[in-house]
Amino acid sequence: MVEGTARRKEILRRLQLSEKPLSASRFAEELGVSRQIIVGDVALLRAAGEEIIATSRGYKLDQAKDQKGRTKKIAVQHDASQTQEELEIIVTNGGEVVDVIVEHEIYGELVGSLRIKTAKDVKDFMKNYRNSNARLLSNLTNGIHLHTIRYQTEADFQQIKQALAEKGILYQE
C-alpha cells in the first residue's frame, strides 16, 4: 500500500502519462487501497489546483485549454433511447460533446464532463451507460439539457444543429 502524498503523486504521474482515462477502481487495485480512497485523493489533487476531470470512463487531465476550436452551448431534448443517436450526430458532423448541463431546482446547474470526440467514444459511453444502474442527468429535466460543443468552423456547428433539428432532438419551444 502506498501512503497519502506518494499515492497522490503517483496518481498524477500516471494521469500525465496516459492518453486514456484511468478508473478509480484500477488505481485502487494497483495502489492497494479502496476506490473511495482514490476518489478522496483525486478530490485533494483538484483542491490543490490540478485540472483533473472525471469522465464516464475514468479520470484524466483536462487538456481543453490546449485544444483548438470554438465552443457554444446547444439545448436539446430527447429520451434515453435517442442518446446514442444524438451523440453520433454531433461527432460525425465535426463536433466534440464537452459536457452535459441540466438545471436542477435545488442545486442549480449540474454539469457532467463527457469529452466525447469520436464514434468509439460514443460506443464506450453507451456501453458504460447500459452496463450501469446510473440514469442520465437529463432524466431530472424531462429530457431537456444543454451540451457544450467544441467545433472547428461555424459551418460545422450549423450542420450539427441542423442534423439535430431534423431528428427532432434540438430543443425548440
CATH of residue 71:
3.30.1340.20
Q: Do residues 108 and 157 share a domain?
A: yes
pLDDT of 3 reads 86
- Residue 107: what pLDDT? 85
CATH number at residue 54: 1.10.10.10
The reported pLDDT for the residue numbered 51 is: 82
Same domain, 162 and 84: yes
Same domain, 94 and 23: no
Does residue 153 lie within any of the structural domains?
yes
CA angle 97, 151, 149 (to 5 degrees): 30
Instruction: Specify the pLDDT at position 67.
Output: 62
Q: Is residue 120 part of a domain?
A: yes
Let me know the angle formed at the C-alpha of 30 by 25 and 35, rounded to the nearest 5 degrees. Answer: 30
Q: Which residues of the chain have pLDDT under 50?
A: none
Query: Residue 50: its pLDDT value, please?
Result: 85
Is residue 171 included in any domain, yes or no?
no
Number of domains in the chain: 2
Residues 94 and 146 in one domain: yes
CA–CA–CA angle 109, 110, 116 (5° rounding): 125
Range of the domain at 88: 66-166
Domain co-membership, 75 together with 51? no
57 backbone dihedrals φ, ψ, rounded to 5°: -105, -5
Do 72 and 130 sit in the same domain of this protein? Answer: yes
pLDDT of residue 173: 59
- The predicted pLDDT at position 84 comes to 97
Neighbours of 30 (CB within 10 A): 14
In this structure, are 78 and 159 located in the same domain?
yes
Same domain, 152 and 74: yes
pTM of the model: 0.70
Q: Are 53 and 81 part of one and the same domain?
A: no
Torsion of CA 54, 38, 125, 13, to 10 degrees: 70
Question: Do both 133 and 156 map to the same domain?
Answer: yes
